Structure 1
């Protein structure tokens, strides 16, 4: 059966908005809900702050230029950890009695290295030893985080941990700017790119989870990602090149999951009359399968429908419609398969 899920983020600016996001996810994505992120509440709820709240054994603080590793945790790092625990309390309460598959998300090692600074400034990306330490600390933190989720929501028999890597393409192509803004950090060689992802993927697997990687950035090295042991690939279908499409097709044929972002993440209007139709979106996925010579009946259970990217920038009205559209498209695809 084709399923639907969200990429991760939802709109909102308050803790009450977080609880509402959880309700929407549980209500509209019953086959594959996810732990929502609501970054509109501030930097401690953003993807970097969220990941630093998970990282084990490293301290951080918020500086004018952004998050920086430090000797002791600053007030904002402590707030990020407290907010994550508070949010998981809300998920635990609202998901009581849930049975099935659940997904959570965390920033991947390369996007984290490209956004967090070393203690003396400049990105962690600039230092081989620092980026290695950050990736390994993330791997251990994700292991602990997944164990916490298992304790909280006991009916989940399959946990998916999605590593968000929107900066992976920039890291691999030497497009990440230096602190001065006048230069670019040197590209990281593929073996190291793979190794750091593999550490986190292995930690997820060892903890009994299933690792996916998501990016809605063009030029993401999907063939490299596919070789790290991940079980799922997730991307905006619009940004995939011909070679990427082949990688996704090979993943599906090999029994891995492919999450296709086909529902727009934002809309100029909350008027239902302007919504993209579920029939048109369903047809688009079917054309993609046909173009790649994939048998819909064979890949159906490994296919996942999502919005094109996170919904943090959407209005609450559109966010609700986007997840409903994702569910409808997934249902359409399943209904068209022979029983």
Structure 2
């Protein structure tokens, strides 16, 4: 039987939260998601706290700075790179203080190589995705930086089992050739699947070497390449359940059969009336039953989450949504 680092009937969050206080956000996460908490991301703090800028601060020997058009590689570290590193350093200090003694699974998040390549510009303005050499350099730098990040978190939480979530919302567009150029007037050439898989594998194998972390890949876009993610070494895949069509049943079924964990986004990530508890759990159960897998495996292999990050939600909705994820996960377990 596949061994998962989480308990049966578990829920967790995706990453981003509203507000600017890392201690308060972490306390909410620890309180509402004690079985699988994670390090909150607070993009409301501004540049360097966003998905791209936060991870760009981890890059080794690839400094960045902020232009009106977005993040761009620099010749040397400047205030924007330093701001990114300062945000993360503060978050990790808070983590060490607030979560000291945590001895269960704990999730951290970084942006993946293809989403970074689609959002960071080269020095002359084109997206890094356009240049295969730049993508290779970016991938190697990210792999090294992510490994150092994992090691730092393990040092601060020595009794925890670390899960590394790699966020790749831009991967489907890179594969489809729909990422716009910097000018926006055309589209960049599609990335071949073996090339995309190889880069992602480099990050996973380096950052998670010697079982330092359990790799999860999160993609909250349509057309999630389940097979590619599994081939790259993802041991769990996180998706927005509402964006997974029936035509993906074969790919999802193959992932389940292979023992891949599924983080299913089943609760609205932005302010909205939450459906009844039973209605929250039903789409998850319907997917499982449609694919014909034993009900007893569902609560072991599936982790419930909000549909995506919750930076745009109100604090009140965040608490309610996280609580609903946990309640629905328990319901799925108890029903089996």
Q: Could you state the TM-score of these two structures normalised by the residue count of structure 2?
A: 0.95
Q: Please report how far the alpha carbon of residue 241 of structure 1 lies from its aligned counterpart in structure 2 after TM superposition.
A: 2.6
Per-residue CA shift, 1:228-271, capped at 9, x if unaligned? 11100000011113343332332223222101001011124xxx
Task: Report the equivalent of 1:159.
Answer: 162
Establish whether residue 266 from structure 1 lines up as the match of residue 270 from structure 2.
yes
Q: Secondary structure at the match of 1:76?
A: helix
Give 5+ residue unaligned stretches, structure 2: 1-7
Output the CA distance in 2 between the equivalents of 1:205 and 1:246: 28
Task: Report the equivalent of 1:295.
Answer: 294
**Aligned equivalent of 1:186, options 184, 189, 192:** 189
Give 5+ residue unaligned stretches, structure 1: 269-273
**Aligned equivalent of 1:97, options 73, 84, 101:** 101
Output the CA distance in 2 between the equivalents of 1:323 and 1:246: 30
Task: Report the equivalent of 1:271.
Answer: none
Contact 1:204 1:210 in 2 (8 A): no
Contact 1:255 1:299 in 2 (8 A): no
**Aligned equivalent of 1:198, options 201, 211, 233:** 201
Output the CA distance in 1 between the equivalents of 2:249 and 2:140: 31
Task: Report the equivalent of 2:327.
Answer: 328
Alignment of 1:204-219 (within 5 A): 204-207=207-210, 208-219=212-223
Q: Please report how far the alpha carbon of residue 282 of structure 1 lies from its aligned counterpart in structure 2 after TM superposition.
A: 1.5
Task: Report the equivalent of 1:283.
Answer: 282
Q: Please report how far the alpha carbon of residue 11 of structure 1 lies from its aligned counterpart in structure 2 after TM superposition.
A: 0.8
Q: Please report how far the alpha carbon of residue 227 of structure 1 lies from its aligned counterpart in structure 2 after TM superposition.
A: 1.3
Q: Secondary structure at the match of 1:25?
A: helix
Contact 1:252 1:299 in 2 (8 A): no
Per-residue CA shift, 1:187-216, capped at 9, x if unaligned? 111111111101011113205211111011
Output the CA distance in 2 between the equivalents of 1:131 and 1:138: 10
Alignment of 1:227-266 (within 5 A): 227-266=231-270
Establish whether residue 174 from structure 1 lines up as the match of residue 177 from structure 2.
yes
Q: Please report how far the alpha carbon of residue 102 of structure 1 lies from its aligned counterpart in structure 2 after TM superposition.
A: 0.5
Per-residue CA shift, 1:273-307, capped at 9, x if unaligned? x4211111122211111111011212431210000
Judge which range, 274-283 or 208-217, deviates more.
274-283
Q: Secondary structure at the match of 2:208?
A: helix
Q: Secondary structure at the match of 2:198?
A: helix
Q: Secondary structure at the match of 1:4?
A: coil
Contact 1:51 1:107 in 2 (8 A): yes
Q: Secondary structure at the match of 2:107?
A: strand
Establish whether residue 39 from structure 1 lines up as the match of residue 46 from structure 2.
no
Output the CA distance in 2 between the equivalents of 1:75 and 1:67: 13
Task: Report the equivalent of 1:4.
Answer: 11
Root mean square deviation of aligned Cα: 1.2
Contact 1:252 1:303 in 2 (8 A): no
**Aligned equivalent of 1:117, options 103, 117, 121:** 121
Contact 2:218 2:239 in 1 (8 A): yes
Task: Report the equivalent of 2:309.
Answer: 310
Task: Report the equivalent of 1:142.
Answer: 146
Output the CA distance in 2 between the equivalents of 1:112 and 1:106: 10
